[in-house]
Amino acid sequence: MNIQGVDRSAASARSPRLPVRTCVGCRTRDHQGDLLRVALVTGRVVPDPERGHSGRGAYVHPSRECVTAAIARKAFGRAFRTGGPLDPRDLVAFCSANDRTESWERRDDNPMSSQR
């Protein structure tokens, strides 16, 4: 619930030509290449690193802090303009594979999801 401030100032040293997007987790603007695009596919928030999914996308830093913050704030629901429950497990799995610094929240506490 409480979101710690995340200093992303280092990103400003990157190329200024890259498009900038806003992370739905920490609300920090960052270069698109430093953010993970996520797409909504049949109610599931899925990572879209190749940006191959059409339609609405959202961007988030592929870090535990930003992904969990986005989930806690239901930021994906707002980003995708949907009020229904979203299943972020694919995104969590994707990001946790890249960020093993801390244990992630348990993923089995979503009774709405029976897929997989």
- The token pair at 86 is 């979203």
Q: Give the nearest distance from C-beta 7 to Zn ion in angstroms.
A: 11
Site for Zn ion in 16-45 (CB under 5 A): 23, 25-26
Question: With respect to Zn ion, which residue has the nearer C-beta, 46 or 95?
Answer: 95
Integer Rg of the chain from CA = 14
Q: Is 47 in the site for Zn ion (CB under 5 A)?
A: no
Residues 100 and 92: their CA atoms lie apart, in Å, by 12
Q: Is 77 in the site for Zn ion (CB under 5 A)?
A: no
Residues 97 and 85: their CA atoms lie apart, in Å, by 24
The residue ranges that bind Zn ion (CB under 5 A) are 23, 25-26, 61, 66
